[in-house]
A and B are shown apart, each in its own frame.
Chain A
């Protein structure tokens, strides 16, 4: 499709304010003005509407396609939450209003939303308090490791090593590094964090170990059954345990991370709590802490006075600073709160139960179609599989696209060969799951009988396989590059 710039007609406008204001040149010295107007699109409103409607049709989405992308929890996003977040009383509220003396009274509804959302998340996870400042999961990870650093610093010690399992998301080591830690790789055994590897790492690095970042269930979809021993080993050296909430959709109502020894957790509300993924953001990554890390949460915190008035508390002397400018992705958090209120405690528990049921059902039905490691174990809300001998995960993924199904996550985790990691979520019906199995069965057969034809997939989408090497080499990143 032509770009919006290619559709631009000089002099055409879609939207202009009705103003008799003088031109900038009459209000500012010439030396402070740009020479040429920005070459933005010049289009009518209908031009713009047609263009973006056209673009939207080139996408797969949860609303149009089964989207079993592992570790991403592509569940259905209830429509009413969009309505709630767009209410003008929220959408038009300036974040600095409650910083004014009388301003707090002008934002009571919003402050109450944050307060209530925090209470929900605390009870959901067993943590003591949450901050909503982090603007996405990875930003939450960063906040979490900063909190861990602040804890050790408050004890008068500098610890430099962060233990990270080999199956962890790439954001874990990247977040730890950004906070100044050195990542120490912990090898898995039987698809789980090996407590003996933890013991060995502690023996090697001693009290330089700040903590461990864990995803539980892990990215292989397996519950970490050695967790109690891991907690015990870390406690011996007063190291902290971080819970990566990417897989929280597997445990709601079944395990609370605060109860089992985690000190800090981030939640991906766009995964677990039903807020839309937006094509890659915006997310929200609230971070919860237990007693030990409570003093270090970023300012401000929302407090409720005895008379029911909500206010912001900035007097937190040990706070780590600001992770975000205000109170996080408020417009996303409010959708998560609406989702939680709609489902209630029981509905959230059911969400996890059916997510795990769907994953186990799919895994069972795919036996004999794909190679399933850890087949003897129940999986959590997702599971890994390998493309069978003679086929490639990438080709199977592209074959699915041709059948109207979004591919699972491929080639992650890195420790599984030709990996396809699928997460069906609780939203999907049995016939959708059965359709996925049949599609994969056909695709695998095609791949074995006629590998060339599968390697040519997809053929039914707006484009065929893309030349990624050329993209990286030619580096055409805007309409004006590579001209």
Chain B
């Protein structure tokens, strides 16, 4: 049998040490009436056959489309060194670093990850990651709820609609109110958000750039929240964060992100990476693993899991979250990615993509009936109003080998004719020209 080393002789000797005659006798505690009613699984296959099966399935996915799909999840170049280093099995076949002395590699990497995240967001500290951007937003909201002992969360409709649905699912068993503030033509309705904050409010949740790609400054909103002793929570796009005003500068209490864009392949939806950073004063509300620097009994610097009294294995039902494992390997990948690109590389990626998006917008808006949804500043992603339903356009363009973006009608009423288009460094002007010609031919 694959991956089982026992020879027939060893099997017999081991059975006799245990004092049973057969392997099945080891399961004597499962009586006949509790045995499987059926177990009709296929026969095992050789490694080459299984690989061939997946190679064939992989070709049935059209990853060769010229794509401008983003909507919170972006196809970026990932340096080969990210895979090569995170693919070292000393990292990926280890587990949660409970035994610090033999886990300094993972622990120091998480400490460095926490540092990189904190510096990118200009927050005091970060945790070792959570599952994804949606759960990060939920966990941040719960930090605010616990700390303020209040039950109202003000949510900007410009936050990724998938994460808002997740948030709704996650809080549905708790006695909380989600106070949704409608978007204003793809931008945050700042006045309405300000009005929605009162003394019952635990926190206000926004996203920058928002789901429509628009960039704003939430400093005043967070100041208003603070004046009501409520928290400011912001979700960001890490690549754009290399150039944008930071959550720290805006006065956010917690900053989160979907960090897929830092070194994780799209991989059809996961695994991804939720990052969370906060002010030092809030650290005891932070969920999940946190690594701290300390010394060993000889005074040598090292790293340990710390502040564990927040966590489920200690506090059980009183824990800050039920999270156990985080996304350690994804966090490692993002750290390696950030280390390779550095501040300059990351900013140049952001700038390259912004420039491409501007080029695409210039060309598309030259087509009859295509215009920007709003005049808000944007980064690498932007919403465009079309003269025809966006879904119809995307369908037709897909048949011609090009996905020009995501049609927004699915999540926003009145936006059936709005297309959300993202550019990354995997696109270039030639691709944009092809897309514009395709779109032009379909309008």
Partner-binding segment picked from A103-111, A234-242, A446-454: A103-111
CB<8 Å pairs between A and B, sample of 28: A23-B351, A32-B215, A34-B241, A38-B122, A40-B341, A42-B342, A60-B94, A60-B103, A87-B55, A100-B391, A107-B268, A170-B315, A251-B30, A254-B35, A255-B27, A255-B35, A279-B106, A280-B328, A284-B271, A321-B169, A329-B270, A345-B40, A351-B3, A407-B99, A463-B302, A476-B292, A477-B293, A479-B111
Cβ-defined contact, A31 with B57, below 8 A: no
Residue of B whose beta carbon sits closest to that of A255? B30
Cβ-defined contact, B398 with A357, below 8 A: no
Most buried by B among A29, A82, A324, A377: A324
State whether the Cβ of A203 lies closer than 8 Å to any Cβ in chain B: no
Residue of B whose beta carbon sits closest to that of A113? B57
Identify B61's interface contact among A109, A343, A360, CB under 8 A.
Answer: A109
Most buried by B among A21, A225, A377, A477: A477
Q: Report B-chain residues with C-beta under 8 Å of the C-beta of A251.
A: 27, 30
State whether the Cβ of A155 lies closer than 8 Å to any Cβ in chain B: no
Residue of B whose beta carbon sits closest to that of A143? B169
CA distance in complex: A456, B84 (Å): 36
Cβ-defined contact, A401 with B102, below 8 A: yes
Q: Report A-chain residues with C-beta under 8 Å of the C-beta of B343.
A: 37-40, 42
CA distance in complex: A175, B37 (Å): 31
Contact string, B355-389, partner A, CB cutoff 8 A, digits 1/0? Answer: 11010000000000000000001010000000000
Q: Report A-chain residues with C-beta under 8 Å of the C-beta of B377.
A: 28-29, 32
Chain B residues 156-170 with CB under 8 Å of chain A are 162-163, 165-166, 168-170
State whether the Cβ of B437 lies closer than 8 Å to any Cβ in chain A: no
Most buried by A among B28, B85, B129, B391: B85
CA distance in complex: A248, B397 (Å): 46
Q: Report A-chain residues with C-beta under 8 Å of the C-beta of B303.
A: 466
Cβ-defined contact, B134 with A324, below 8 A: yes
Cβ-defined contact, A138 with B312, below 8 A: yes
Cβ-defined contact, A183 with B317, below 8 A: yes
Most buried by A among B168, B327, B339: B339
Interface size on B, residues (CB 8 A): 204
Interface size on A, residues (CB 8 A): 209
Contact string, B323-335, partner A, CB cutoff 8 A, digits 1/0? Answer: 1111111101001
Given contacts A21-B355, A325-B269, contact A138 B94 (CB under 8 A): no
Q: Report B-chain residues with C-beta under 8 Å of the C-beta of A17.
A: 77, 345, 348-349, 352, 425
Partner-binding segment picked from A44-52, A194-202, A286-294: A44-52
Residue of B whose beta carbon sits closest to that of A168? B316
CA distance in complex: A431, B377 (Å): 65
Cβ-defined contact, B399 with A356, below 8 A: no
Identify B316's interface contact among A183, A358, A466, CB under 8 A.
Answer: A183
Cβ-defined contact, A59 with B63, below 8 A: no
Most buried by B among A32, A34, A120, A281: A281
